[in-house]
Structure formats: structure tokens, C-alpha cells
Amino acid sequence: MEKRIINFFIVTFLFLITYTYLVSKFSPQNTAPFIPSSQVISKEPVEEDLTTISQSLEKIEIDKFIVTVCLTGGYIKNVFIKEYNEELNFQDIGLILSDKEEFSLKRPSSNVIILENEDLGIKKIWEFNDYIVKMKINSSSNKKISLFSLILSLDGLEQRYQEILYKERDKNIIRTPLVKIKKLEKNNLEILGGRDRYYTLVLFNGIYDTVINRINKKINLSTHTKENEWVFYIGPQLSKELAKYNLEEIINYGFFHDIGIVIIKIFYFINYFVKNWGISIVFLSIIIYIILFPFTFKSTKAMKKMQELQPLIEEIREKYKDSPQKLNKEILEMYKKNKINPLGGCLPLLFQFPILFAIYQVFLRLIELKGVKFLWIEDLTLPDRAFKLPFNLPFLGNYINLLPLIIIGLTYFQQKLTTPKNSSPEQTSMGIIFMILIGVIFYNFPSCIVIYWLIQNLLTLIYQYRVSKIKKYPLRTVS
């Protein structure tokens, strides 16, 4: 193995370690995952900051959820979704801050929870039906009540997708990132809710007034009990589920949303036949490569001709090194005579990057990929973690992500095929920097995105190898 190759991999590895250390030092850390203590109904006293008194909690398994009910104050403290084995960030559903008394719990049916305090004259009813919950409050007085609270995540990635959303009559949905909210007051809303990376809680089928207030790391949406019945969807952001209630517009993939919708439809269509999300990603990558191949063909042809022109261009550089204007004119004339666009090699990127960004947004939010295994990968929404080491590497932990390292290798061989043998040291250095940058970008990416990019690179490398065997194009010199 050449010495420069060994040096390249050493530099890449050291760079990844340094980058990961800086990210871990200055980025928000992940919160600990929720693990239910038991899958059966249980009672447990805890200390609650909201009331500063001991609270009595009870976990109830109901339909798709395990609901933690707080009998002190009579409200739903939090919700655990069984299908995805995760506690949602939506809390304090039906909380009246002024009520600290104990409520009695009743279960007239398997999908209904009733909390009641006769002395206060308050009765709260929750009826669960799939992902739809109806909340009804019967109260003898008009009190301020929490519709729900959304907890601001400490994880930087999760925090990016947390937002409050609302829709006024005959208008589009307004989205406000959680980190930007201080206090808002909105009236006559058709849709009101919040969402994070995978889940949403949205009130609909009514007209809602609310005060949105930030208290430390919690965003609370409150109203008054005069509106004594609310209907909301709480669950995953699945198009097929949200479409049942005309709530599809809640899902949003950012600037390239329309491209994202097309990608999802193709992705679902593929998976309908292959029944495996990992293989579906491979086929999706192949299909997109085929769609973009005409641009790749033009780009590769332009790059090959540029590569073959390098000796002639070097002669021109040497001949007119003392006359920059004449030098540029002669080089442009050379390009013109050989019908070469100097920017032609960048053509596929103009189409590839929007698709890559759309796929990035889609795959990061697609809950169907959550917890899905493929090959050695335990979860497609996480780095692949190919090898678990018996010791911890500095700043990297005890896992090695293999897919990004394969991408770096493929990028290296692409550079070997496309870079002229007589290239300048500066050009070689830029190639090395690009390879390191690719490794840094993809090292901690979710494996679903890395698989897509790896297949794209592999197909491109195969094509470039075949092109490299083609005889040289006839070149024209400047007379």
C-alpha cells in the first residue's frame, strides 16, 4: 500500500476523533430514554414540582397507550406509546393548576378514564379510540386548564423538529419552533397542536382559543373550561393515519417538501413489493440514480475530456504565465473548440443535492424506519455501529461505524479515477480534504441516509471505471 494512502487514513481517523470530541463537548446531550418500570397497572408516589406536594400516580394500559394518570389534581401526566416503545413529549393533559386535591378514578369501560372530585364539582373524562382522544371537562366554574405541555428536548437534533402549530380559518398552518416561543395568545383556531420529530398532538374538529406560554423547558397550551370538550389526535406522524382526519398538512419536510412527498410515494411503492425497508432504500437509490443518469453521463463525459485536456492546458499555462489575460482567453478558447463546459462536472450536483436534502428530511422523520433492523444494523434511524469494541476509543465510544468508512474508501477510488496523474499537489490536497469532509458529514448520520449515499457512490464508481476504459476523445488545439 502506498505511503500516502496510509497517511490519508491516519489523518482521516484523527480528524474524525477531533470532530466528534468537539461535537460532544459543545452540542446538547441526549436525554435518557424512557423505560417503563412495569407493563402492569401500578401506583407510585412521587414529588411533583408543579404542586410542591406528594402526588399519587397510576399507570393504566389503554388501547395503544400506557397512560400515567395523576390523581392529585386529576390529569394525564404523560403518555407512553406501546407500538414504538417510547414515552411522548406531550404531558399535563387536562391539568388545572389551581386544583391540588385528590381525584377518584373510574373505568366504566376499557377505553374510558374518568377522574372526579365531587367537592370541587369537577369531572374529567377521556375516551380513547385508536389515536383519537376525546377530553370532556364538566366544571361548576370557569378555570384555566392545560390542554397539554410539550417538553423542549435537550437533544439538538430532536429540538430542531419541535414546534407549535396552529391554523386559523381559511389559512395555512403556522409553525413556530419551540425554542422561539415565549408567549402567544391565539383565538378561533381550527387546528392547534404541537409536534416533534416523530409524533404529534393536534386538536381539531372544533374552534379553539389558547394561551401558549413558556415555563423553563416546557411549552404549555392552556384555555378555559368553558370549552368543555376537545378532540385531539395523539400519535405518530403517519400520512395514512392523519389522512383519516384531513390532517396530512401537519407533516412537513421543509424547503424540499414537494420532492420529499414524491420520494415517500416511490419509497412506499417499492416497500409494498419487497417488504423490507433496508432493501427498499437500496432500490430507491438505484431508481434515483437511473433518473439522474443523463446528467451523470454528461458530467462524466465533461470530466474525462477535462482530464485529457490537462496536458494541453499546462502547456498554455507555461506559455502565457506572464500574461494572465491572454492565459484565460486561450484556456477558454480551448474549452470552446472542444465543446467543454468547465462547470459540466458539477451538473449532477444541481439535481442530486435537492434530492439528498429531501431524503435527509424524510428519513430523519419517517417513523416506519424507527427500530428497523437491516444486515448488522440494529436501527436504521441510528448510525450502523458495525463493531462493538471491548474498550472505548477516545471520544468515539466503543462502536465503529462501518458504512461511512466504506464511503470514504469509495470516494478515494473515485478520486483515483478522475484525478489526472500529473495533477498538482494542491489538487491532490483538495481531494483528500473532500474525502475527510465526506467522512465527517456521514459518520454519525442515521444509517438509512448513509446506505442511500453509499449505493449512489458505488454506482457512480462502477460507471466511472467503465468510462475510464473508453479510448480518448479527439481533442482540438488552439491554432
Give residue 268's Cα distance to chain centre.
Answer: 18
The pLDDT score that the predictor gives to residue 413 is 83
* Number of helical (H) and strand (E) elements in the chain, helices listed first: 10, 19
Is residue 278 within 8 Å of 372, Cβ to Cβ?
yes
C-alpha cell, 198: 416523530
What count of Cα atoms within 13 Å lies in the side-chain half-sphere of residue 342?
9
What is the C-alpha to C-alpha distance for residues 55 and 74, in angstroms, rounded to an integer? Answer: 10
Confidence band of 223 (pLDDT split at 50, 70, 90):
confident
- The structural domains of the chain, with segments of one domain joined by +, span 3-27+260-468, 43-252
Instruction: Kindly tell me if the per-residue pLDDT of 104 is higher than 60.
Output: yes
Please give the model's pTM, rounded to 2 decimal places. Answer: 0.74
What is the C-alpha to C-alpha distance for residues 147 and 173, in angstroms, rounded to an integer? Answer: 19
What is the C-alpha to C-alpha distance for residues 296 and 281, in angstroms, rounded to an integer? Answer: 20
The pLDDT score that the predictor gives to residue 343 is 58
Confidence band of 428 (pLDDT split at 50, 70, 90):
low
Per-residue pLDDT tens digits for 58-79: 899 988 999 999 988 889 999 9
3-state secondary structure of 310: helix
Instruction: Kindly tell me if the per-residue pLDDT of 117 is higher than 70.
Output: yes
CA distances from 354 to 180, 281, 361, 399, 455 (A): 27, 17, 11, 31, 17
Coarse DSSP helix, strand, coil percentages of the chain, rounded to the nearest 5 percent: 40, 30, 30
Nearest alpha-carbon partner for 72 in 88, 60, 58: 58
What is the C-alpha to C-alpha distance for residues 144 and 75, in angstroms, rounded to an integer? Answer: 13
90-114 burial: b if 16+ Cβ within 10 Å, else e:
bbbbbbbbebeeebeeeeeeeeebb
Find the helix or strand (DSSP H, E) in which 20 lies.
helix 3-26
Is residue 113 within 8 Å of 62, Cβ to Cβ?
yes
Question: What average pLDDT does this structure show over 352-381?
Answer: 87
Confidence band of 277 (pLDDT split at 50, 70, 90):
very high
The pLDDT score that the predictor gives to residue 292 is 82
Per-residue pLDDT tens digits for 226-236: 667 889 999 99
The pLDDT score that the predictor gives to residue 121 is 84
Phi, psi of 276 (to 5 degrees): -150, 120
The pLDDT score that the predictor gives to residue 18 is 54
Per-residue pLDDT tens digits for 43-55: 333 334 444 445 7
Instruction: Kindly tell me if the per-residue pLDDT of 19 is higher than 70.
Output: no
Name the more confident of 60 and 477.
60
Instruction: Kindly tell me if the per-residue pLDDT of 177 is higher than 80.
Output: yes
What is the C-alpha to C-alpha distance for residues 233 and 230, in angstroms, rounded to an integer? Answer: 10
Is residue 120 within 8 Å of 54, Cβ to Cβ?
no
The pLDDT score that the predictor gives to residue 438 is 79
Question: Going by DSSP bridges, is the β-strand pair 132-139/229-236 parallel, antiparallel, or unpaired?
Answer: antiparallel
The CATH fold of domain 43-252: Beta-galactosidase; Chain A, domain 5 (2.70.98)
Tell me what the pLDDT averaged over the chain comes to. Answer: 78
Find the helix or strand (DSSP H, E) in which 86 lies.
strand 86-93
Phi, psi of 219 (to 5 degrees): -105, 120
Nearest alpha-carbon partner for 232 in 174, 150, 169, 158: 150
Is residue 61 within 8 Å of 41, Cβ to Cβ?
yes
Question: What average pLDDT does this structure show over 258-277?
Answer: 92
What is the C-alpha to C-alpha distance for residues 133 and 406, in angstroms, rounded to an integer? Answer: 47
Per-residue pLDDT tens digits for 125-152: 999 999 999 999 887 777 888 889 998 8
Instruction: Kindly tell me if the per-residue pLDDT of 206 is higher than 70.
Output: yes
Question: What average pLDDT does this structure show over 171-181?
Answer: 86
Give residue 280's Cα distance to chain centre.
Answer: 18
What is the C-alpha to C-alpha distance for residues 304 and 306, in angstroms, rounded to an integer? Answer: 5
Per-residue pLDDT tens digits for 74-100: 899 999 999 888 999 999 998 887 778
What percentage of residues in the chain have a pLDDT greater than 90? 18
CA distances from 191 to 194, 199, 203, 206, 261 (A): 10, 16, 6, 8, 22
Confidence band of 237 (pLDDT split at 50, 70, 90):
very high
Confidence band of 170 (pLDDT split at 50, 70, 90):
confident
Is residue 440 within 8 Å of 21, Cβ to Cβ?
no
The pLDDT score that the predictor gives to residue 21 is 47
Instruction: Kindly tell me if the per-residue pLDDT of 432 is higher than 50.
Output: yes
C-alpha cell, 437: 469532509
Confidence band of 295 (pLDDT split at 50, 70, 90):
confident
Q: With the C-alpha atoms ordered 257, 258, 261, 262, is the resulting torsion angle positive or negative?
A: negative
Cα 107–Cα 110–Cα 113 angle in degrees, nearest 5:
40
What is the C-alpha to C-alpha distance for residues 48 and 311, in angstroms, rounded to an integer? Answer: 75
Question: What average pLDDT does this structure show over 416-430?
Answer: 64
Per-residue pLDDT tens digits for 453-469: 899 889 988 887 777 76
Question: What average pLDDT does this structure show over 368-387?
Answer: 88
C-alpha cell, 63: 388501547
